[in-house]
Structure 1
Amino acid sequence: MVVCITEIEGFTAALRNKYVSEAGFDVFAAIKSQGITLTLHVGDDRQCRGVVTLASGGIEFSGPENIRNDALYWLVYLFGASLLYTSEYVKHIEIVSDVVSIIFCDAKKTDEVDVRKNLHEFAIGLLMPKHQILSAVRYLADQHEVKWRGHGIIYLDYERYNYDTYITLVSEIAVLFQVSGQRVADRLKELGVLNDVRFPQPSYWSQFLTESEIEGPRRVSLEIECDSDLDNELDEFDDDDY
């Protein structure tokens, strides 16, 4: 049973290198290579369902005819469960849309937070490896003449230009890696590539917000009583040093 993040990274890198081509990562070939039975059902494009039973190692999945975007992410998520865990620890995992239910064996319950984290790391490691994502960002940033201004490769605030740049880069990366824009945005944040300073965050990754749409004050001031020592320290503070 593989549960270490470093091991997961090495495992996903080896799998991806073996089953990736110009058309993208072939998840079906990877699943078949591990001796896992995959039963596919063409269902609603807006909702995917899946379940993996650890005792049998089989995956049953219902989704759109063309498995990509979030459907691809969840299929790989279940694939990871069948490889990383055994029936001694986990009975089965079920997914309905974005809701994941994990049934553990009573005798050896594993930390559910760790299981979810490991399966997420497996999915993004297989679909959006760190080095490939960073290479794609650098290439696309160069192609679209994105300038480095010290705030992050992709800087997102309330300026329309920054928003348009963000949408362009995330959308192209999503097509390249066959995942949803939301997954790409989350991955870029994890890697420190996307610096989204909007507050509060929009409910959907591609939503545009202007400062006029933000409720309440953006900045607040506090009046505090300072002792003489603190007053002296503040007087000595020099903005030029920072």
Structure 2
Amino acid sequence: MDENKVDQWSAEDVLERHLAPLLEHYGVKFRGHGRIYVDHQHHNIETAQRILTDLGLTFCVPTRAIRSRLMELGWLKDVRRTFQAPLKWSESPTSGHLKRWIRQIAMPAQ
């Protein structure tokens, strides 16, 4: 790979030219969530990782850099890190059991 290509790997048109065939190869369809959509489904995680690895190998760039650039362009959407707000202690279905257990270990039997 020539130096010029390495310097320009993050250009939108360069990424597009290399990403499009990978999306087709891995059967990734645009469903309105981003070109690459990653949720908790094993297939989506694996496919995204393969695409990031392939691009990283092509450009001799860490997959983390590829991932960041694709996210910046809005081409990769990873919702695995989106969590619901945690339940309050009092709302937890097991909070009564946990509170009893904590009391038991905090105040041993006499």
Q: Same fold judged by TM-score > 0.5? A: yes
CA distance in 2, matches of 1:154, 1:195: 6
1:126, distance to aligned residue in structure 2 (A): 2.6
1:61-116 alpha-carbon deviations (Å, 9 max, x no partner):
xxxxxxxxxxx8xxxxxxxxxxxxxxxxxxxxxxxxxxxxxxxxxxxxxxxxxxxx
Correspondence for 2:78: 196
Contact 2:38 2:77 (8 Å CA) reproduced: yes
More strand by percentage: 1
Correspondence for 1:180: 62
Counterpart residue type for residue 153 of structure 1: R
1:128, distance to aligned residue in structure 2 (A): 2.2
Q: Structure 1's 172 and 194: CA in aligned 2 closer, same or farther, altered over 3 A? A: same
Identity across aligned pairs (percent)? 27
TM-score in terms of structure 2 length: 0.68
Contact 2:9 2:15 (8 Å CA) reproduced: no
CA distance in 1, matches of 2:2, 2:75: 23
Correspondence for 1:41: none
More helix by percentage: 2
Stretches (4+) displaced over 3 A: none
Correspondence for 1:170: 52
Q: The residue matched to 1:140 in structure 2 has which SS?
A: helix
CA distance in 2, matches of 1:149, 1:130: 21
Counterpart residue type for residue 150 of structure 1: G
1:220, distance to aligned residue in structure 2 (A): 6.8
Residue range with higher mean Cα deviation, 126-135 or 188-197? 126-135
1:22-44 alpha-carbon deviations (Å, 9 max, x no partner):
xx2326xxxxxxxxxxxxxxxxx
1:25 aligns with 2:2: yes
Count of residues in correspondence between the two structures: 86
Correspondence for 2:30: 148
Gaps of 5+ in 2: 88-110
Counterpart residue type for residue 218 of structure 1: Q
1:163, distance to aligned residue in structure 2 (A): 0.1
CA distance in 2, matches of 1:153, 1:144: 12
Correspondence for 2:18: 136
Gaps of 5+ in 1: 1-23, 28-71, 73-124, 201-216, 222-242
Counterpart residue type for residue 173 of structure 1: L
Supply the RMSD in Å over aligned alpha carbons. Answer: 2.3
